[in-house]
Chains A and B, each alone.
Chain A
């Protein structure tokens, strides 16, 4: 049977499609094309050459940055999940729904200030003569160099991602049907085994999504490695900045960006499969 064409739902889709087309797909295609251009006398010229790809992917420095960024993003996903989990358990199971709503609101408040401002705040706190070292010094420890290191960058990453990870985890934990947890105890599971055998599997989707968001945000973050990590060794984001600054090499920066996008696509796809996947 022929269905009459109904424009109504399509009208509502149109703005989103236009927006995504104009500001995501088109720039992406342009960037992909850009990666094949050449730079001559500090000026970009349209071309279809593999020079940029060969130069970037053939360089050890690129792969050092790639693996460093990947490692840090993985670590941030794991560390953020581990730090967030006890807090999320508390928010999900030991607060009234009103208390939980208030706590989640508080978790959104950090987003009211620019992340750059929060990174600067950490520069003060973590400085050699900052409050953290002052406290540690009082205990006869340090002073430690915390800025311009992997540690400093990680503090920045956590500042960026922790509220979001807690929100994801709390939502998924609070959504677990209470009778499932009671049923686990009823069938002989101690509180620890209930956590491992029932609560974590039941909240899996939110836990995985929280970790993936931490990974994605860390992978593409420029502020933490630059202002708190000392930009050495460089991450991919810093590599992009450096590349564009040195001799207008936008095409080579485009190569880095495309590799990043492909990596994120691969990770996000695998993670979504893990999050929503069915156990065999």
Chain B
């Protein structure tokens, strides 16, 4: 696990990156600790991949400094860094065999043929690829290629591994399996994993800390649970999870909204937005006690772990509520039918608070 008390492995200090007039990353300040699994998450174009590429030296920051292990890295070319990256496309060399791919980093570092073959074979064994060493890359399955790419990056025993959406090309069932492989690997090796993804399930399942980015800026940094239950801004609330947002003015512990007045957790008076997660909303026909609004039923969607019901409030806002199959059977909602959506006032999260 990460130890934030020691000196950070990586520090971004007011890092800017512009491509011509397009600003990809704006005033990024962040520390990455040794041994931590950190995930950068955000929609495409949010700057997460550019941030990762700057760590690998594949892009140079326009301004600001990036230090790794206390050393300023701005002008260090990629081949003089020890920041192996696992590409989304994997970028395995098609003209080399599996074991030659894994050896590549050692060969470039001048490790003797015998030793590098032995070390590569150990990693192939560790990745359950023994027997595949002489295969060509195009003779492997997607999951096997994934593991070759990991072995190739880890064979040089780096302090940090960078991963750029490495699972996005895999089938859903393989993603789950590879998530397990990656987290176990990171714990065993004790090195830093910097993981970029647009998938919140990947980020939340694996990372110790998640960095949500939007428009080139950090929107929020925190543990997965913190971010999931306590989004700081509308952007994060809408990007993460299935959240409902209610805005209004707080007066003496009550939020006055277009939907009516609802109780809120302790917060000072003034403008406020609260977030109610879909799994904390109860749907009922009769008006319940406490926090509730009225909305008409639109549609339902099977989501595996439950059913998401979509509603529309009188002023056109969309609300989501997660219900069980038996609850749905009891409710028998019809399109346009009005319901009460209620929640425990204390389970709502006040944004910016």
B residues near A187, Cβ cutoff 8 Å: 79, 84, 104-105, 108, 152-153, 156
A278 and B85 contacting across the interface, CB-CB below 8 Å: no
B352 at the interface (CB under 8 A from A): no
A184 vs B109: C-alpha distance in the bound complex, in angstroms? 12
* B77 CB contact (under 8 Å) in A179, A180, A185: A185
C-alpha gap A278/B58 in the complex (Å): 31
Contact between chains at A186 and B156 (CB < 8 Å): no
| In contact, B58 and A182 (Cβ under 8 angstroms) | yes
Determine the distance from Cα of A278 to Cα of B105 in the docked complex, in whole angstroms: 22
CA separation between A105 and B142, bound complex, in Å?
39
Which of B89-97, B114-122, B221-229, B333-341 forms contacts with chain A?
A: B89-97
Contact assessment for B78 and A182 in the assembled complex, using a CB-CB cutoff below 8 Å: yes
Within 8 A of A (CB), among B183-238: none
Contact A279 B95 (CB under 8 A): yes
Q: How far is A204 from B96 in the complex, measured between Cα atoms in Å?
A: 13
Q: CB distance B89 to A179 under 8 Å?
A: yes
Total residues of chain B contacting the partner, CB 8 A: 27
Choose from A182, A193, A204 the contact partner of B108 (Cβ within 8 Å): A193
Interface residue ranges of B67-90 to A (CB < 8 Å): 77-80, 83-85, 87, 89
CB distance A198 to B77 under 8 Å?
no
Interface residue? B167 (CB, 8 A): no
A278 to B138, CA, bound (A): 12
Describe A's contact surface by its main secondary structure.
helix
User: Quick check: B93 and A186 within 8 Å, CB to CB?
Assistant: no
A184 to B93, CA, bound (A): 9
Query: A185 CA to B152 CA in the complex, in Å?
Result: 13
A193 to B87, CA, bound (A): 20
Structural contact, A186 and B109, CB atoms closer than 8 A: no
CB within 8 Å for A188 and B77 given contacts A177-B91, A182-B58, A279-B95: no
Contact of B79 among A177, A179, A185, A201 (CB under 8 A): A185
B89 touches A279 (CB 8 A): no
A180 to B109, CA, bound (A): 18
Interface string of B41-75 (1 = CB under 8 A from A): 00000000000000011100000000000000000
Scoring B residues 107 to 129 as 1 if CB is less than 8 Å from chain A, else 0, what string do you get?
Answer: 11100000000000000000000
Within 8 A of A (CB), among B21-49: none
Is B136 on the interface with A (CB-CB < 8 A)?
yes
Contact A183 B108 (CB under 8 A): no
Verify if A132 is at the interface (C-beta below 8 Å from B). Answer: no
Judging by beta carbons under 8 Å apart, are A177 and B95 in contact?
A: no
Per-residue interface assignment for chain A, residues 159 to 192, with 1 indicating a CB less than 8 Å from any chain B CB and 0 otherwise: 0000000000000000001011011111111110
- Whether A278 lies near B136 (C-beta < 8 A) is yes
Determine the distance from Cα of A190 to Cα of B78 in the docked complex, in whole angstroms: 9
Given contacts A177-B89, A179-B89, A193-B108, contact A186 B95 (CB under 8 A): no
Q: What is the minimal beta-carbon distance from B217 to any residue of chain A, in angstroms? A: 25
- Within 8 Å CB of B77, what residues of A? 185
Residue A202, interface by CB 8 Å: yes
Within the complex, the shortest CB–CB distance from A199 to chain B, in Å, comes to 11
CB distance from B176 to the nearest CB of A (A): 25
Among residues 184 to 229 in chain A, which have CB atoms less than 8 Å away from a CB atom of chain B?
A: 184-191, 193-194, 197-198, 201-202, 204
User: Does B95 lie within 8 Å of A183, measured CB to CB?
Assistant: no
Contacts of A185 on B, CB cut-off 8 Å? 57-58, 77-79
Instruction: Please give, as numbers and ranges, the residues of chain A lying within 8 Å of B95 by CB-CB distance.
Output: 201-202, 204, 279
Which residues in A have their C-beta under 8 angstroms from that of B108?
A: 184, 187-190, 193, 197
Which residues from chain B contact A191 at a C-beta distance below 8 Å?
Answer: 79
A223 to chain B minimum Cβ distance, whole angstroms, is: 38
Interface size class on chain A is: 20 to 34
Inter-chain contact B91/A182, CB cutoff 8 Å = yes
Whole-angstrom CA separation of A19 from B83 in the bound complex = 59
B94 to chain A, nearest CB (A): 7
Closest to A179 in B: B91
Docked Cα-Cα span, A149 to B78, in Å, equals: 49
Which residues of chain B have C-beta atoms less than 8 A from A182's C-beta?
58, 78, 85, 87, 91
Which A residues lie within 8 Å of B80 (CB)? 188
Flag if B85 contacts A183 (CB, 8 Å): yes
B135 to chain A, nearest CB (A): 11
Contacts of A177 in B (CB 8 A): 89, 91
Option from B84, B93, B136 in Cβ contact (under 8 Å) with A198: B93
A279 neighbours in B (Cβ, 8 Å): 95-97
Query: Which chain A residue lies CB-closest to B105?
Result: A187
A191 CA to B79 CA, complexed, in Å: 8
When distances are taken between beta carbons in the complex, the residues of chain B under 8 Å from A197 are 104, 107-108
Of all chain A residues, the one with the shortest Cβ separation from B89 is A179
Q: State in angstroms the CA–CA spacing of A80 and B94 once bound together.
A: 27
Contact of B85 among A180, A186, A189, A201 (CB under 8 A): A186
> Are A183 and B91 within 8 A (Cβ)?
yes
B159 to chain A, nearest CB (A): 14
State A183–B95 Cα separation when bound (angstroms): 14
**Residues of the A chain whose Cβ atoms lie less than 8 Å from the Cβ of B156:** 187-188
| Contact call A202/B89, Cβ cutoff below 8 A | no
Most chain A CB atoms below 10 A, which of B58, B78, B89: B78
- Are A186 and B97 in contact, CB atoms less than 8 angstroms apart? no
Which residues of A10-39 are within 8 A (CB) of B?
none
Contact with B along A256-274 (1 / 0, CB 8 A): 0000000000000000000
9 interchain residue pairs of minimum CB distance: A188-B108, A179-B91, A183-B91, A187-B105, A185-B78, A201-B95, A185-B79, A189-B108, A179-B87
A-B contacts, 21 of them at CB < 8 A, read A177-B91, A182-B78, A183-B85, A184-B108, A185-B77, A185-B79, A186-B56, A186-B85, A187-B108, A187-B153, A187-B156, A188-B156, A189-B79, A190-B79, A193-B108, A197-B108, A198-B93, A201-B93, A201-B95, A202-B94, A204-B95
